[in-house]
Amino acid sequence: MPKVKIYTTPTCPYCQMAKQFFNDNKVEFSEVDVASDTKAAEEMVRKSGQLGVPVTTVEKGGKEEIVVGFDQPKLSELLNI
């Protein structure tokens, strides 16, 4: 199973949609609130080049893919759902 991490903020509706998508599809994920964790926010920007959330990382086979925004087709493809 791929390792999934989502960078979020508490008020982001697309973050809520992404987390609901993961829950509906029984995808285990870790969540990082970049509004309260500045180091995580810096890490997210370094990885994605983006300030907006959600940013999701999907790690499988030793390779990390970055998905910016709630891109359900891309997440489905990466997670084989």
Question: pTM for the whole thing?
Answer: 0.94
The CATH number given to 3-79 is: 3.40.30.10
Amino acid at 77: E
pLDDT for position 74: 97
HSE-CB of 44 using CA atoms within 13 angstroms: 25
How far the first Cα of the chain sits from its last, in Å, is 12
Extents of the domains making up the chain: 3-79
pLDDT exceeds cutoff 90 at 46: yes
Task: Read off the pLDDT of each residue in 46-65 and give the average, rounded to a whole number.
Answer: 95
pLDDT for position 75: 97
